[in-house]
Structure 1
């Protein structure tokens, strides 16, 4: 099968913890393998039309307000540092971390509230962390007692205790595509971090080739949990698999620093998993992120936006605050920055998966709801230029970004002011247009003014009198 080789350098525009840009990043330099299943192709096309999604990292770790899972990892990196008040030794820390299960009781959990706010902001799909690297399942798995529905967890007595099911059901009712994030590595199970050996880093702590029966147990454990998620939770559209160090050894990219730490075979048999997932959910998109091949149906730059268009499906996952997980008083990005990032991403053909982390009480910070409402106000005016669009040359020149409608009847031109703290409504615009187009009309979205324009030397010159745009101005060029 033909593979497209991409040499991509990411322009990292939004950075939080270094582990999110280096610890799990990939350079998307390997070959992308286009799906051949018509149902998957159709699902991907629909997903590419959606443009804007909600990502949620949530688990017991929210009670400490720390980075998700990574403090359990015995690597000496900034994102794995442990606070002494949570344990003076590594093993004391791990015990106290695992005991967070016994106090996790997010009684303000109302997923319909999230779905309403996300839908209003124009989000069309959701990806939720059903299980992160720490192994705590936010669903009612039969494979482990380390889960939200265990009697060891106070929230288990709540009628909405099966959090994953409740989230999927609530968002599905609002017509979201449903994405299940799932960590392939599991730092809690004996099948991955065997207590006979101390963990050394993020990888499996024994040699799977030397202990094949134990590795086989881990593969079955993972397979069974993914079978549960794709057969017992209604329609699931995306299986978003994280933890790319669990991979066939032959797929390691030595150009990526963290992949050079993988010293042994960790083939989890993605053919078996993917085939099962597609049997349970025909047409499901599988994202075995950072592992090139038939099961990485789209690529996922993390906390970064590619600096040019890509000819494959892709999605930037970026935090609204500084952290993927809940941190008290997090530094939430201004709405202007979020909208500018959305415009950059869609002009380059990607989707924007914006992460908001629920807190230990089961709700978002007020600041997150405020951002979503402000995005909603802008989206209500400009959504026709965002959804079901594709890139078009010249893509991006200075403060102008371009998209087109799928039927090629409209060109959308976004004007931003990236260097300004606030967007200053301007009345004069000057931007390039493709030489071959013939214009029927030009509209400024949000304005009833009849736009007057001139064309000279491949540029359009526009003067307006009633531009009241916030965050970004959007022109729609209607073609003959």
Structure 2
């Protein structure tokens, strides 16, 4: 994932935004999109040899580690405690419906048995096993769908040239390269990922932003053509149902199947690289966020989010019509930090009770605010009240005739009034929930 200091406010060059021409989603793809919109909650996993250093997935760039030095890390990566079945069961108990895992990150190390390069977990580590194959098998057994994160940029590959904006302090990078050969390398790996691991639910691209020109003040056009037309067509030809998303922070590009938002709700821009409201398309949406402050394992990260913060982020994402992809960064031995497991378990318990207001829902008719979001499903609107201190609410211009309005927890009627000002109601203290007070509104047909 990107760091906060890379702000993407830029002019796009149309010549380099071409993707799959005249893309018509297949029946299988449209069905997969529907499933994706219903799923609402997934597990993101950032895992690679960088975990050995315990300083996040950007450690190669942030510490300017030379290629020669970094290539020593695989010899120390031996995840003998990796139990993919436990990972999948953990995700399932958390109420998650899919898993997205890093197949190759910006450091260029492949976490699968690729034949296109020997810089991979099977050939270069003492573990010598394909962790993605084991995870794919475990997901299949538990009916959890699997997505592969795939980095477009590469700080090690000679043919990643012209160089991007990151990794330029890394010693040992070649002074020349063949971009078309690099594109062929990616196509080879993507073909492997979509040919050797069964049905894959999606490919999650990252790194587009690395090829933006920078004059010291503003971002300009792309320096290189990502060949999205060919790459997207390749993916859909190998597995038509496979969903394509790209973490480019732009309006959707032709050939993509869902739109993603990094550490921001759709239309928000608290990070400085968020997508503006005008760039939100009609595709299914997904927000990705960390469970602490890091994507990859970070030994000194103390920014673990509370259970309340995590649950409310899931609720907010649903209120914006989006999935939440929540990240964990496993340790180098293959274990997930106990505090992360504990938080996911609490989210699962909450979803056992209130999941009906989230799963299968769509964005509700009430505009999201800091204190309230809404979801809707099967003619029922769910108001999620997130401020436990607030007692009186006014919803201007509420649409629809109310048949019944009840507290979801208590099953008791809500006293309300509809007039020229809108819908007004009060939530007595005894009916408030410290995480999410849910009101169920059944509408007349």
TM, length-normalised to structure 2? 0.83
1:20/1:303 contact within 8 Å kept: no
Matches within 5 A, 1:389-408: 389-397=361-369, 399-405=371-377, 407=378
Q: 1:354 to 1:386 in 2, by over 3 A?
A: same
Could you tell me which residue of structure 2 aligns to residue 111 of structure 1?
A: 84
Q: 1:56 aligns with which of 45, 57, 73?
A: 45
The worse-fitting range, judged by mean Cα deviation, of 140-149 and 327-336 is: 327-336
Distance 2:243 2:216 in 1: 25
Q: Secondary structure in 2 aligned to 1:393?
A: coil
Distance 2:436 2:317 in 1: 14
Gapped runs of 5+ residues in structure 1?
1-16, 74-79, 83-89, 418-422
Q: 1:256 to 1:322 in 2, by over 3 A?
A: farther
Q: Secondary structure in 2 aligned to 1:359?
A: coil
Q: Secondary structure in 2 aligned to 1:149?
A: helix
Could you tell me which residue of structure 2 aligns to residue 12 of structure 1?
A: none
Matches within 5 A, 1:330-349: 330=301, 331-349=303-321
1:172 CA drift (Å): 3.1
Could you tell me which residue of structure 2 aligns to residue 443 of structure 1?
A: 406
Distance 2:120 2:317 in 1: 36
1:386 CA drift (Å): 0.8
1:110 CA drift (Å): 1.0
After TM superposition, which residue ranges in structure 1, 4 or more long, deviate above 6 angstroms? Answer: 26-34, 253-258
1:444/1:474 contact within 8 Å kept: yes
Q: Does 1:327 align with 2:298?
A: yes
CA-to-aligned-CA distance 1:363-409 (integer Å, 9 cap, x gap)? 1111101111111121111111111212233322452211111x4x1
Distance 1:59 1:429 in 2: 49
Could you tell me which residue of structure 2 aligns to residue 4 of structure 1?
A: none
CA-to-aligned-CA distance 1:335-378 (integer Å, 9 cap, x gap)? 11112222222212222111111011101111101111111121
CA-to-aligned-CA distance 1:246-267 (integer Å, 9 cap, x gap)? 76xxxx69899785495x3x22
Q: CA RMSD in A?
A: 3.3
Q: Does 1:98 align with 2:71?
A: yes
1:435 CA drift (Å): 3.7
Q: 1:221 to 1:246 in 2, by over 3 A?
A: farther
Q: Does 1:317 align with 2:288?
A: yes
Distance 1:129 1:467 in 2: 43
Distance 2:337 2:351 in 1: 21
Could you tell me which residue of structure 2 aligns to residue 42 of structure 1?
A: 31
Q: 1:375 to 1:169 in 2, by over 3 A?
A: same
Q: 1:239 to 1:446 in 2, by over 3 A?
A: same
Distance 2:434 2:35 in 1: 29
2:9/2:218 contact within 8 Å kept: no
Distance 1:46 1:28 in 2: 34
Distance 2:140 2:349 in 1: 23
1:21/1:303 contact within 8 Å kept: no
CA-to-aligned-CA distance 1:409-468 (integer Å, 9 cap, x gap)? 100100112xxxxx57x8x55342754422332333333x43242324322425568647
Distance 2:332 2:412 in 1: 51
Could you tell me which residue of structure 2 aligns to residue 244 of structure 1?
A: 208
Could you tell me which residue of structure 1 aligns to residue 272 of structure 2?
A: none
Distance 2:209 2:181 in 1: 18
